[in-house]
């Protein structure tokens, strides 16, 4: 498949309306729907080989586009991973590292003033841009969504919210804190007891309904689910057997609610004819968590699944970073395509910007690459991919992946400071090849140290 950008537009323009659709004037440039879930493992979607999950709408999205099986988040935690999505950079270059704190003072620094972001670039091209859902990229005025390129914002600044009261709370060691955190632009709004996933769906649907086709748009829809707080209405829980472990049942019910919202939005795009001209990305920010706070019994959480991959959120084994990613681009990506080589969340920005205007030069200083030439075989995928989280470091080169200071999880402790995996023969990272491959370890360690210097991590 080697369609040009011009033939992409002509394909969209020539596509017939489905029966019953109401035609709308179409822009010559595609719209973008970018959806992100939170703490959502690759074992939490049916089309990745997990039939106990109920995700028919994500499955049909996969069937209509490309399903990535080695898609990597750029960090195993939310703020940093989202910074990469919106900037096309390794998070360390943006200054957003780890998970930003949640404070009722609304002065947490995150994305810096003047940062080049995807929405800011698109807005400069004439796009209408909106962010709905979790932000967690800073609550200081210069870091908020509208300061970073979004025309409209409905959502929250904190790392998570109670699904019904829309409050963030931190209990336990003093000082505890609890505060309401739901906003429409700069105005605090109160929507309790609306279930958060459904509330976000309502807001996203209203945004789509307001688009009339004269102006292209980008919607950044970021769900809080299935991150803690672990809550789901009975109508979603009832889709899963009562005999299922409680945490797994609740987790999958939360995913099912997200799937319903996504299905309704895909239907809305189809019914209005906008699906012919809308590029859809879906991905998770990082893998499923092991955090005790998410569990119902005070033990490490087991509700989410990272499939066969080792590790969890907060760690640099693949379980924390290899996440589900689906991409539908009408006329550009074959339906049912599966891509099985490493790509990363920072690749979304340059891909979207090229689709919006192929004549525009990519922003300076980004690390991501346009996906289309890679999928067409015109360019190779990343030769090296790098990660950092606290004192952990990792690099992937071809089928080899090196981790320095590998993460420790309850019941899965690691007694080595250096871990080398062959991802082709051992994708679960169970065997450490470090002793047998000392020259490779030395080379990859050197590459990591060079990368640390380039992104400002040297000495940290």
Q: Is 184 a catalytic residue?
A: no
Cis peptide preceding 94, ω within 30 of 0: no
Stated as kind and residue range, the H or E segment containing 134 is strand 128-134
Its sign, for the CA torsion 141, 94, 220, 24, is positive
Distance CA 173, CA 39 (A): 24
Please list, in sequence order, all residues whose beta carbon lies within 8 angstroms of the beta carbon of residue 170, skipping any fewer than 6 positions away.
Answer: 102, 176, 177, 178
What's the CA gap between 309 and 319, in Å, rounded?
A: 5
Of the residues 47, 66, 78, 325, which is catalytic?
A: 78
CB half-sphere exposure, 454, CA atoms < 13 A: 15
Nearest CA among 43, 49, 29, 117 for reference residue 304: 43
Burial zone of 77 (CB within 10 Å; 0-12 exposed, 13-18 middle, 19+ buried): buried
SS3 of 148-200: HCCCEEEEECCCCCCCCCCEEEECCCCCCEEEECCEECCEECCCCCCCHHHHH
Phi, psi (rounded to 5 degrees) for 67: -110, 120
Catalytic residue, candidates 9, 47, 66, 136: 136
Is 47 marked active-site? Answer: no
Closest to 449 (Cα-Cα) out of 372, 364, 390, 386: 386
Q: At what angle do helices 56-63 and 246-272 cross, to 10 degrees?
A: 50
DSSP state of 294: G
- Helix and strand numbers, DSSP H then E, in the chain: 11, 18
**Burial tier of 70 (Cβ tally within 10 Å: 0-12, 13-18, 19+):** middle
> What 8-state DSSP symbol labels residue 412?
B
DSSP 379-401: S---SEEEEEETTEEEEEETTEE
Active-site positions? 78, 136
């Amino acid at each position: 498949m080697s369609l040009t950008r011009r033939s992409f537009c002509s394909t969209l323009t020539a596509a017939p309306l489905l029966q019953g659709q109401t035609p709308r004037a179409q822009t010559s440039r595609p719209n973008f729907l970018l959806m992100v879930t939170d703490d959502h493992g690759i074992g939490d979607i049916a089309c990745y080989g997990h039939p106990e999950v109920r995700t028919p709408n994500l499955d049909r999205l996969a069937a209509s586009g490309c399903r990535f099986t080695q898609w990597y988040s750029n960090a195993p935690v939310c703020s940093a991973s989202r910074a990469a999505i919106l900037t096309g950079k390794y998070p360390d270059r943006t200054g957003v590292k780890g998970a930003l704190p949640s404070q009722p003072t609304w002065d947490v620094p995150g994305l810096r003033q003047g940062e080049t972001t995807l929405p800011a670039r698109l807005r400069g091209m004439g796009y209408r841009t909106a962010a709905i859902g979790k932000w967690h990229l800073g609550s200081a005025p210069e870091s908020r969504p509208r300061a970073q390129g979004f025309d409209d914002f409905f959502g929250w600044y904190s790392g998570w919210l109670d699904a019904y009261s829309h409050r963030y709370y931190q209990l336990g060691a003093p000082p505890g804190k609890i505060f309401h955190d739901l906003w429409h632009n700069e105005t605090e709004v109160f929507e309790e007891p609306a279930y958060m996933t459904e509330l976000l769906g309502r807001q996203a649907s209203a945004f789509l309904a307001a688009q009339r086709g004269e102006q292209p748009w980008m919607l950044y829809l970021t769900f809080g689910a299935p991150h803690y707080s672990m809550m789901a209405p009975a109508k979603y829980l009832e889709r899963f057997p009562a005999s299922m472990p409680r945490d797994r049942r609740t987790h999958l019910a939360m995913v099912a609610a997200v799937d319903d919202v996504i299905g309704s939005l895909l239907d809305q795009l189809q019914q209005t004819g906008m699906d012919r001209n809308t590029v859809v990305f879906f991905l998770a920010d990082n893998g499923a968590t092991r955090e005790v706070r998410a569990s119902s019994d005070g033990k490490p959480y087991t509700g989410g699944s990272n499939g066969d991959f080792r590790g969890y959120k907060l760690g640099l084994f693949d379980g924390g970073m290899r996440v589900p990613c689906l991409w539908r681009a009408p006329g550009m990506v074959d339906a049912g395509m599966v891509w099985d080589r490493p790509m990363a969340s920072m690749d979304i920005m340059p891909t979207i910007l090229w689709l919006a205007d192929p004549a525009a030069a990519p922003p300076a200083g980004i690390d991501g690459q346009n996906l289309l030439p890679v999928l067409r075989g015109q360019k190779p995928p990343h030769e090296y991919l790098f990660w950092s989280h606290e004192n952990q470091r990792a690099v992937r080169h071809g089928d080899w992946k090196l981790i320095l200071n590998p993460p420790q999880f309850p019941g899965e402790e690691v007694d080595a400071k250096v871990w080398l995996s062959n991802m082709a023969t051992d994708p679960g990272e169970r065997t450490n090849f470090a002793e047998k491959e000392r020259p490779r370890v030395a080379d990859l360690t050197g590459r990591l140290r060079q990368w640390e210097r380039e992104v400002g991590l040297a000495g940290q």
